[in-house]
Structure 1
Amino acid sequence: MTNVLTNTLKNRQYVFAARPEDEATAGCFGQVETVLPALKPGQILCRNLWLSVDPYLRLKMHDRESYTPPLQIGEAIPGNSVAQVVTSADPAFEAGDMVAISGGWQEYAVVRAAHAKRVDPALSRPQSWLGALGMTGFTAYGGLLSIGQPKAGETVVVSAAAGAVGSLVGQIARQLGCRVVGIAGGPEKCARVVADFGFDACVDYRAEGFAGALAAACPKGVDVYFENVGGKVAAAVMPLLNMFARIPVCGLISQYDGQSGTDPKALEEFMRWVLVRRLTLRGFIVYDLYQNHPEFTDTMAGWLRSGAIREEFNLHSGFDQVVPAFLGMLKGAGFGKTLVQIAEPV
């Protein structure tokens, strides 16, 4: 542990500049330069290396109730990161250690050591702590196992199957002996979901005849639907759900840009299926489930080492690419987990 408890580093960070009316744009964000505070006992100063951009942030841009408070104008943008300790005021860490933290969209972060997770290079590459071994991976693992409760031989359908969470959900379900059908946008993504992630099939929701193609890919119906999208995708899945099917609701990205005007008849139809098919429907946030699966890190690390689970990163480089990476991710650009590398480890 170093004994230097002060620093004069200047820090670039992104802040929330304007609330979007419809789609998020680059104008919703601003950059500022701050001077980092002196460390207090129990804190560490970290240099961010990889930043995660995640869909949940779009929900925080609305001024309305959600599972976390909305962003306020001028507030620093939050987010997870993998970082390297620069200076430590806690005996648990020393300069050079690699950690996973809630570091935000900034070059440096001061965090409590108790809130930092040591990155173990023996388990996987550092980026995995923002992917399969991090919040993304646990969202897939916890949501599927705790709520979906898949059984060998069942059919699991995953929307946003080419994305960070969806791609892992399908692979986990395959490890449990399920037939896995993905839904993604465009023939290229669908082909890669099958070839790269081992799904049994993947259906293009943008193509004509989407509902029919999905039904053909699920000849025995659907036992688990892992929901990331909502909208017309969910509407196509609902008639295919078997009796007592389970629906973990992880996200509704089709609604994140503030779409309104819900058709009451669509809601009535949805509730009819819930009743007639005796469906179990549960929304969840990742931290609801942490206590359920203490085995997660060891299990996922084993799958990664053996090649049973594969990660794909949509990697961007440079601090100025954080906002473009986020906006592109919302529009479905890229494949897999979107990360931005802003510095090299030393």
Structure 2
Amino acid sequence: MPVFNVDQLESVGKCIFQAVGAIQKEAEIVAGLLANANLTGHDSHGVIRIPQYLGFIETGHIVLNNEIEILRQTKSSAVINGNWGFGQVIASKAINIAIEKAKSTSVSTVTVQSCNHVGRLADYAQIAADQNLIAMLTVNNHGAGTRVAPWGGSEGRLSTNPICFAIPRESHQPILVDITTSVVAEGKVRVKRNRNEKVPEGWIIDANGNPTIDPNDLYESPMGAILPFGGTVGHKGFALSMVVDILSGALSGAGCSRESPKKLGNAIFMTLFDISSFVPIEEFYQEIDNFVDWIKSARTAPGFAEITIPGEPENRIEQKRRKEGIFIEEQTWQQIEESAEKVGVDLGPFI
């Protein structure tokens, strides 16, 4: 089973994307963020996506080296047309625009349409947190990717509709919340399929609405569906999913989940808050430290050694994978090798 370091994975992606015509800067951004997703344990948003992106490039779904366009803006807001470039490139530009506006107006909101898959939302939220800003980001699938059943439904009507928050801390990593409003991200089901593993009970249903642990049931025709998060109270995840769909789709002009959208992608909603416009930054940091200490002071439940806060598990996985390497399942690596061979890239130096 192949094991790599993060630099190797980034180099693999960079070479493959440049081989199909991406300029160096764009290839570096996309490959770097994919590799970072693997590094932090989110393999569903990592290099497993390389073959998928190459397919999108081949069909013209991803338009290489395209410029974004600001459709409308105020001092504190903007609506961006990504012109169907790489999602990671578009989202990186959008978060920097939002940061600049938040620093001058206290709060900013930026939405994005015509954007491909952006990868892991936490990467962009972290950029804002590093600038002492609180970040909230959501995406839908540009009206497509309706693999999630509504509460009480037996077929897909929503995308996984993730929501992300980043809250900076002075001497610690930010508090990072990056969750789908479905039980699980579709990519995690894909990872299970590539590893020939069953999915946990409660993740998906088959085409007849029956619970299943076979990941293939999500992809074979007729397709099954992912459930909204919440289990027996899944109406809560479903409700939040609808809000995410509206913020991401309706405010960007990309549209909410629907039948027969033109393209699959990510429509983005991001709002940033300049903490110092509300309270002194030192006071805020002290309040968050006190709050985290209070949370962690609770007695642990049976089976738990400690209480971890959002973002800590990823930080620990990153430290471990930097030491031990990043495991890539055989099927995923084979797909990457086949993609590389197709575009004339020799992966021998990376193995």
TM-score, normalised by the number of residues in structure 1: 0.26
More strand by share: 1
Larger helix share, 1 or 2: 2
